[in-house]
Structure 1
């Protein structure tokens, strides 16, 4: 006599089986590059649980042990305020409607969203019955959820939880995202610091200071802004927004890049020049977008590239500049900015090129896993967003089918349901890529 054992499969196992069935019943198994999502360049061996944890990606969100009810209620109240504000101003004929924020005037920025003082307006509830009914329903649902004693299932195993704590307590390694792609890189902290010191010692690009000049820089910027305000060059809103307060030095770090020791990044968040850089960008952007060589992104490149009658023996050429920004002379850079104000655009000649999606060989495609503690709508948007990008880039249905099949395989490997991914792919297949 044989007994049939009932086996309960986890959702991740069901998804994986579903993906395998779907993949192997099409035109044979898809060939995807065998890329390790975790690149251990350190001398420290990683355990299986540590590798499993890091392979989930650096944007993976573990399930919290406890829900902060107070914070949830504060966040929902702020959300309700934004809804009421949106409803409140939708019924008003604001003078701001005629203001074109994409073309800021040099002396009239007081109404721009970047420089308007933050409002403390609290619209009175009850003006829109439908909105208030929605808010009441959301409040009721949230209170029910907060009162439930059962905790959400942990999306990490006990071993991965232990690995998370172990990696947090280590001081001999540094964990970073790779410069391109989504690979997680583990480096020895001593080697990382030695490389950072080597690059910072290059006097062609960096100059060592005897002390922290952050306060002096802030004072000089404040003085210049005050002079501009006194001379009616800027208004009070712009002055108060650009005035540097509670600043810190720039933060230097390295990203691993294949074929080079490390790519230097300097974060200017809270640096004295952060806000005035944003101000300059606001004025330069409309002129930069009118330059003949300007390309906003991949979609802009595809739209501007010739599509028919490409001459025979045409060569497609790409080039790159080593250390572009650090090699731009400041004086010449400023002079170039002055010259762009009156430049005009030019058009392209007809031609014909096929476009397809390209990813780096080192890209491990660590898309956000459905087991991450994110809102459920996030996981609905991931396949659709990636399918939209693929359709927008691929110039023919055959190329789209080829790349979307690879995309489906990558997403299934991350735990997405095959039919959900296919639905997003099919939806985008019916769209004209130039309208996306």
Structure 2
């Protein structure tokens, strides 16, 4: 009887030992993966900081440095949250323009659009049956479209860092003149440097009043004449 108990105790101890070893191995693998991710992230930050020139007192986190190192021409992946809504809004704008063309276009094709024309946003009444049937069927097809998911080119922390940089009004982000790096400056320092340039009496002169309105009154008719006059004569502006 005692031998059976001993064998049973040994088997139980062996199972416990195996379970403990599995748990230790699992914790070790998790810690190892975590350390490896930290090491890879630190390497990315060290490589990214070479492309970011920081001249600010603001402390930038690693995620912000990674975002800035991507360059000012980097395009983040669009969010799919409002993709269908944006698509429908674009289609509504197309429908509005088609109805406007139906109501106001006389077919002569002689309309010269002013280069500084402001959009009115006018919403006309319905057009003929052919246009309305086309718009109705197209909208139904757009409603059936399924938006496919795709891999985001920014991590969650980088998305938050991008929003943080956009909301930070104490810094200015510019492209460097000499290389392809990104420069981060204090806004106060940037304004101070600009004022130092403007206060140079050798190259700049202080005026008592602004002539912006007078220049606008002179330039707009000139631009209208150059734009529409040259188009009417059959050749475009070359300068």
Give the TM-score normalised by the residue count of structure 1: 0.32
> How does 1:112-131 map onto structure 2 within 5 Å?
113-114=114-115, 120=122, 122=124, 124-127=126-129, 129=130, 131=131
> How does 1:323-338 map onto structure 2 within 5 Å?
none
Which structure 2 segments of 5+ residues have no match? 1-48, 231-236
Q: CA RMSD in A?
A: 4.7
Instruction: Pick the aligned partner of 1:67 from 58, 82, 89.
Output: 82
Distance 2:145 2:79 in 1: 15
> How does 1:238-317 map onto structure 2 within 5 Å?
277-284=219-226, 296=239
Note the C-alpha offset of 1:202.
2.4
1:366-423, Cα deviation, whole Å (9 max, x unpaired): xxxxxxxxxxxxxxxxxxxxxxxxxxxxxxxxxxxxxxxxxxxxxxxxxxxxxxxxxx
Q: Answer yes or no: is the 8 Å Cα contact 1:63–1:152 preserved in 2.
A: no
Distance 1:141 1:192 in 2: 51
> How does 1:387-426 map onto structure 2 within 5 Å?
none
2:164 equivalent in structure 1 = 166
Note the C-alpha offset of 1:93.
3.6
1:135 equivalent in structure 2 = 135
Instruction: Specify the structure having the higher radius of gyration (Cα).
Output: 2
Instruction: Pick the aligned partner of 1:76 from 75, 91, 110.
Output: 91
1:205-257, Cα deviation, whole Å (9 max, x unpaired): 24265xxx67x965xx5xxxxxxxxxxxxxxxxxxxxxxxxxxxxxxxxxxxx
Which structure 1 segments of 5+ residues have no match? 1-35, 102-111, 222-272, 288-293, 297-436
Q: Are 2:193 and 1:195 equivalent residues in the alignment?
A: yes
Instruction: Pick the aligned partner of 1:185 from 183, 188, 191.
Output: 183
Note the C-alpha offset of 1:197.
1.0
Distance 1:117 1:157 in 2: 39
1:207 equivalent in structure 2 = 206
Q: Answer yes or no: is the 8 Å Cα contact 1:42–1:173 preserved in 2.
A: no
Q: RCO higher in 1 or 2 (8 Å CA, sep ≥ 6)?
A: 2
2:53 equivalent in structure 1 = 40
Distance 2:225 2:78 in 1: 43
Distance 1:118 1:77 in 2: 15
Distance 1:280 1:190 in 2: 39
Q: Answer yes or no: is the 8 Å Cα contact 2:55–2:184 preserved in 1.
A: yes
1:187-214, Cα deviation, whole Å (9 max, x unpaired): 23343122111112123324265xxx67
What secondary structure, in the 3-state scheme, does the structure 1 residue paired with 2:55 have?
coil
The structure-2 alpha-carbon separation of the partners of 1:175 and 1:115, relative to structure 1 and needing over 3 Å to count, comes to closer
Distance 2:177 2:137 in 1: 45
Distance 2:135 2:178 in 1: 42
Note the C-alpha offset of 1:82.
1.3
Note the C-alpha offset of 1:168.
3.1
Distance 2:223 2:178 in 1: 25
Instruction: Pick the aligned partner of 2:64 from 39, 50, 60.
Output: 50
The structure-2 alpha-carbon separation of the partners of 1:51 and 1:133, relative to structure 1 and needing over 3 Å to count, comes to farther
The structure-2 alpha-carbon separation of the partners of 1:117 and 1:190, relative to structure 1 and needing over 3 Å to count, comes to closer
